[in-house]
A and B are shown apart, each in its own frame.
Chain A
């Protein structure tokens, strides 16, 4: 086992009640071909100021989980069909699934906000950057135009945009990709949310800019104590940012644990396969390691473990019954019959 130590991560504060508690979340998309089970019985918690990394390959339900929490699937073919999303708003716990659209509008962008994958298209091209940053300040914090402008200048300065007062009046097309993502971070942080969801915030950016954006998110977390859910398929990003990791596969969380546990003692065959596909500098392979096969279709109902067809350790039971999440170590749940039976050597 190799050791990956996370760097520059502040030690998590003592957590009492979780800030966000997702219980058995189920989200489906209704298509002409049938029902796509995008998110199945997903449960996790995020404590105040904590950073949760959700990893998995494309189409595994990471982003849909995030959009479900933000209730941004309304108006699409997707809908939440079960489960709870409990959000602790200063001691008042509310189930976001049951909030009305208007009530949800007072949570989104105020108590929790989101940064998206593609900064090039996530800002409105016909509104100035300043206008877009000031919007949540005026809508949620009821700031006057003047106060909002001052606050927006501070925010842009905070995210490292030079000459923020001037750049406020610029339109997004005058910003580079990295600057746009900085502006997105400023916008998301404007109302000092308790939770920030970053959905692949660095995927569309250059490697050097990626590091800067991650640093920025980390600094914000320290500054305003916001909890972060970072969604990525980049294990390096998780190792660097997260306290806890949830690994998703085919709409299920297959393993959860601290970043240390997941990287140093992965239990689920999928997580293990993911870890062994990371190329190592010291021992650079001739061919990169891959996971044979392809993820299953999420259309229709499946029995058994979704990873079974690709799994090296599969047993007869794996094709018949889905393993639930069970602790294989303290606070380290894993959805694998073999791992639950006593592990994989």
Chain B
């Protein structure tokens, strides 16, 4: 087990190297540099001398390979350099300052949509054809057809502007969390509800469920122990990567609700050719996804004894 985890983490290094190299050379291959992109945004044309000076300051005059190696050596120490869009804060500082908001939003969304999505999925599977089943279907269809940003604005309009129950935005008191989490939960609820229902229904048809009933176990015990434990694997498969994509931050939700999260910075970095920020975001995303997959695989082993990581002798 330990050997397996070590090997997987070693694999992570390879993945990070490959992804970083690919991203680095691709982003430099795009025409235009960070300074003319920023200047263009402000309808200005910077004099060539200024651009040359800026390039020297940020080390952009050196050969690409050298730039890449310097960046990677620093990145190992979590030093991604200064953001091109900020004179005062390094990329690491920006991430440390802003990311916690996104993580908090993401985790709250995860917990909320797990409760609603798993609950509705379980209910729909166990009580097929009842109001609970129809409620689950209704909610998941709503989640499917309603775009998150439209729902966010609707929520703001109804609960903040009209009813004055909740604030329109910001991120401090728990009251400010409600609307963003609701708006952010649409896709996760949809995914969890549908996967939970279908894998429960699949497991309920299995022969071992009939065996469990033949033993005279109560319906509750049959469902919660014999069915649910078998139905969990597919849910974990989608749940892991979903958790990763939630904590990485959301551009739309954070923008609409004025949450100072990191989502805005990721998207802005690409528009402004903020090389260090692009690299940092790519590396963090890669690490996060890879680790989530590792955790997902470990969770399988916890649930399903047939999963073995070590070759049996």
Contacts and interface: CB of A to CB of B under 8 A. Distances in A.
Contact of A135 (B217, B305, B306): B217
A173 B306 contact: yes
Interface in B191-237: 206-208, 210-219, 221, 225-226, 229-230
A274 to B, nearest CB: 28
B207 A126 contact: no
A124 interface: yes
B208 A121 contact: yes
Which range holds the interface residue count of chain B?
A: 20 to 34
A123 B211 contact: yes
B306 A108 contact: no
A271 to B, nearest CB: 30
B210 A106 contact: no
A109 interface: yes
Given A72-B210, A123-B208, A139 B217 contact: yes
Given A116-B210, A121-B207, A173-B306, A126 B230 contact: yes
Contacts of B305: 125-126, 128, 171, 173
A122 B208 contact: yes
Given A116-B207, A121-B207, A124-B230, A139 B214 contact: no
Chain B, interface SS category: helix
A121 B216 CA distance: 18
Interface in A75-128: 101-102, 104-110, 113-114, 116, 118, 121-128
A136 interface: yes
A245 to B, nearest CB: 24
Given A126-B305, A173-B306, A139 B208 contact: no
A113 B207 contact: no
Contacts of A106: 216
Contacts of B218: 102, 105, 139
A108 B214 CA distance: 6
Contacts of A125: 208, 230, 304-306
Contact of A72 (B206, B213, B225, B306): B213
Contacts of A187: 211, 215
Nearest to A135: B215
B158 interface: no
B303 interface: yes
A124 B214 CA distance: 13
Interface string B283-313: 0000000000000000000011110000000
Contacts of A105: 216-218
B216 A127 contact: no
Given A72-B210, A118-B207, A121-B206, A126 B304 contact: yes
A70 interface: yes
A171 B306 contact: yes
Interface string B226-254: 10011000000000000000000000000
Interface string A154-172: 0000000000000000010
B229 A109 contact: no
Interface residues on A, range: 20 to 34
A124 B215 contact: no
Given A116-B210, A121-B208, A126-B230, A101 B215 contact: no
Contact of B216 (A122, A124, A139, A173): A139
Given A171-B305, A173-B306, A184 B211 contact: yes
A123 to B, nearest CB: 6
B214 A109 contact: yes
A140 interface: yes
A118 B208 CA distance: 10
A184 B230 CA distance: 19
A110 B229 contact: no
A121 B206 CA distance: 7
Contact of A101 (B210, B212, B219, B304): B219
Nearest to B304: A126
A181 B180 CA distance: 54
Contacts of A121: 206-208
Contacts of B216: 104-110, 136, 139-140
B225 to A, nearest CB: 7
Contacts of A139: 215-218, 221
A126 B211 contact: no
Nearest to A101: B219
Contacts of A122: 207-208, 210-211
Contacts of A108: 213-216
A123 B207 CA distance: 8
B6 to A, nearest CB: 26
Contacts of A110: 216
A107 B207 CA distance: 20
Interface string A118-152: 10011111111000000110011000000000000
A290 B47 CA distance: 98
Of all A-B residue pairs in the complex, the 8 with the closest CB atoms, nearest first, are A109-B216, A109-B215, A108-B216, A171-B305, A121-B207, A124-B208, A114-B214, A105-B216
18 contacts: A101-B219, A102-B218, A104-B216, A108-B213, A118-B207, A122-B207, A124-B208, A124-B226, A125-B304, A126-B230, A126-B304, A126-B305, A135-B217, A136-B216, A139-B218, A171-B306, A173-B306, A187-B211
Interface of A: 70, 72, 101-102, 104-110, 113-114, 116, 118, 121-128, 135-136, 139-140, 171, 173, 184, 187
Given A121-B207, A126-B306, 12 more contacts: A70-B214, A109-B217, A110-B216, A113-B214, A116-B214, A125-B208, A125-B305, A126-B304, A135-B217, A136-B215, A187-B211, A187-B215
